[in-house]
Amino acid sequence: MSDDEQPLNLPIVGPANADPSEGSRWGESTRAVHGPRPGPPPQEPLGLPTYRTSAFRFDTAQDYADVLADRKPGYSYSRIDNPTADAFALGLATLEAHGLDHAVAAQPFASGMAAISTVMLTLCSAGRHVVAPAAVYGGTYGVLTHVLERFGVSATFVDGTDVDAVRDAIRPETALVWAETIANPTTAVADLPALADVCRAAGVPLAVDSTFASPVVCRPLEWGADLVVHSATKYLGGHSDVTGGAVVGDVDLVGRIRKTRLDLGGMLAPDEAFLLHRGLATLPVRVARHCATALAVAEAVAGHPSVERIDYPGLGSHPQHELAGKLFDAGPEGPRYGAILTITPRGGRAQGMALCDRLRVAAVATSLGGVHTVVSHVASTTHRQLDDAALATAGIGASSVRFSIGLEDADDLVRDIVGALDALS
Average pLDDT of span 210-214: 98
pLDDT value, residue 223 = 98
Residues of the chain with CATH 3.40.640.10: 65-278
Q: How does residue 194 score in pLDDT terms, banded at 50, 70 and 90?
A: very high
Please give the residue that has the higher pLDDT: either 314 or 37: 314
Please give the residue that has the higher pLDDT: either 11 or 186: 186
Q: Is the confidence at residue 36, as pLDDT, over 60?
A: yes
**Distance of alpha carbon 253 from alpha carbon 262, whole angstroms:** 15
pLDDT value, residue 395 = 84
284-424 CATH fold: Aspartate Aminotransferase, domain 1 (3.90.1150)
pTM above 0.75, yes or no: yes
pLDDT value, residue 156 = 98
Q: In what order do the strands lie in the sheet with 374-377?
A: 307-311, 340-345, 401-404, 374-377, 363-364
Percentage of the residues of the chain whose pLDDT score is greater than 70: 96
Decide if 372 contacts 240 (C-beta within 8 A): yes
pLDDT single digits (tens) 325-373: 999 999 888 899 999 999 999 998 999 999 999 999 999 999 999 999 9
Q: Is the confidence at residue 5, as pLDDT, over 90?
A: no
pLDDT value, residue 31 = 80
pLDDT value, residue 17 = 47
pLDDT value, residue 18 = 47
pLDDT single digits (tens) 121-150: 999 999 999 999 988 888 999 999 999 999
Average pLDDT of span 169-190: 97
pLDDT single digits (tens) 216-258: 999 999 999 999 999 999 999 999 999 999 999 999 999 999 9
pLDDT value, residue 14 = 67
Q: How does residue 15 score in pLDDT terms, banded at 50, 70 and 90?
A: low
Residues of the chain with CATH 3.90.1150.10: 284-424
Task: Please identify, in words, the CATH class of the domain defined by 65-278.
Answer: alpha beta
pLDDT single digits (tens) 67-115: 999 999 999 999 999 999 999 999 999 999 998 999 999 999 999 999 9
Average pLDDT of span 400-413: 98
pLDDT value, residue 323 = 98
Of 29-33, 64-68, 363-367, the least confident: 29-33
pLDDT value, residue 425 = 77
Rounded to the nearest integer, the mean pLDDT of the chain is 93
Q: Is the confidence at residue 38, as pLDDT, over 90?
A: no
